[in-house]
Chain A
Amino acid sequence: MPLGFSKAVFGQAAAAVSATGGRAFTHNGTSSSSSGNFSLDKAATYTVSYSSAPFSDSQHFSMVFWFRLAQEGGNIDDPASRLIYMTDSDQSDLWGLTFGNGTNVTYMNCLNSSGNRLVHPYGSTYANNPAFMSAIADGSWRCIMVSMDSDAGNGIGSFYIGGSSTNEASGGALTSTLNSDNMKYIALRNNNGGHNTNYGTSFETGAGFELGPVWLYDSYLDFTSSTVRGYFYNSSNTDGYVDGGSDGTAGGAPTPDVYIKHGETTLEVAGSSTPTVNTVTHNSGAIVIIPTSEGPGSGDTI
């Protein structure tokens, strides 16, 4: 943690800082194990649900999100934490992003009745998940940009981390289509989507994983283009953070189908339609808001 910054404690004043950024959120739970399948004494997250799906494309998916992860153990569940998932009402059709614990796989995947396909970040720099996690779980703000496209050459897509110009994507082609127009529910940081009113105590994350702004597209963003990556990450900025503004487009990005960011007090979701956002808790846990003085673009670390 750099001088001049303090650890965020919800409800307490933050110390003076030299830079400000976006906001993020986590929860106030404590993991009972330092690694492996943890048990959280309490937790909380948000569910996002729509009356009609904000997606329609069946073969193309792109996601950008900012996060920081203090460490893997105790914050990424075993075998994995399902960070951001778009689903239908029974999670039979879905696409999303999962962080693996230990040697388990980190991936973006899509699932439907005919199968499962995924893109993972072990195509170039990182030989396996431990190498990948050791690179990103350093407590600093990170940006991941990942996309899938069954029509994009080898069908793999792209997987970029922060300011790297290396496409880490490897995996298999997307060979089937999804019923994206059924995907009315978005799960954040745990395994239950917006169709559930309870917190899902599996595939969840510990408090040391903080989630910042999220851009979701059911179209293919070609992150092999430095121009496109520049809409979300600019190495000239603190942390490389690009503020998406109120709808995700302030940095030049195309209008996302869904743009999620935490406001001063509530989770804010922009897009063509307005969802219902609920807070779901486990053992009366609570959301912890990461203030701009410690959020992405602040230079703060945990």
Chain B
Amino acid sequence: MYRVTIESTQHTFDTLADMVTWLKANYTDPLSKPFDVEKQVDGSWVPNPDKFSML
């Protein structure tokens, strides 16, 4: 499970691919917004260590 925090809102996704799809659908240039990505590990949210691309 992954979570992105962007513009003071949080959104949860099963996969990073889902997150990328959502970001591109909701922002014409996702890189123009600061955001944080976290991964749920053993019930806790930690900074996401897994790579994603295509933004």
Number of interface residues of A (CB under 8 A): 25
Beta-carbon contact of B29 and A80 below 8 Å: yes
**Per a CB cutoff under 8 Å, which of A78, A80, A113, A171 touches B34?**
A171
Query: Which chain A residue shows the least CB distance to B54?
Result: A91
**Per a CB cutoff under 8 Å, which of B28, B31, B32, B48 touches A113?**
B48
Is A254's beta carbon under 8 Å from chain B? no
A-B interface contact total, Cβ < 8 Å: 65
* Binary flags per residue of B25-55, CB closer than 8 Å to A gives 1, else 0: 0001111111111100000000111111111
Beta-carbon contact of A105 and B47 below 8 Å: no
Q: Which residues of B contact A (CB under 8 A)?
A: 28-38, 47-55
Q: In chain A, residues 62-96, which have Cβ atoms closer than 8 Å to a Cβ of chain B? A: 78-80, 90-93
Chain B residues, CB < 8 A from A171: 34
Of the A-B pairs whose beta carbons lie under 8 Å apart in the complex, a sample of 20, sorted by A's number, is A78-B28, A79-B29, A90-B51, A90-B53, A91-B54, A92-B51, A109-B31, A111-B55, A113-B37, A113-B50, A114-B36, A114-B37, A114-B38, A114-B49, A115-B35, A115-B36, A115-B47, A116-B55, A118-B31, A118-B32
Chain B residues, CB < 8 A from A79: 28-29, 32
Beta-carbon contact of B29 and A104 below 8 Å: yes
Please measure, in the bound complex, the distance between the C-alpha atom of A105 and the C-alpha atom of B7, giving whole angstroms: 14
Beta-carbon contact of B32 and A104 below 8 Å: yes
Chain B residues, CB < 8 A from A118: 31-32, 34
Beta-carbon contact of B52 and A98 below 8 Å: no
Chain B residues, CB < 8 A from A113: 37, 47-52
Beta-carbon contact of B53 and A92 below 8 Å: yes
Is A282's beta carbon under 8 Å from chain B? no
Please measure, in the bound complex, the distance between the C-alpha atom of A118 and the C-alpha atom of B31, giving whole angstroms: 8
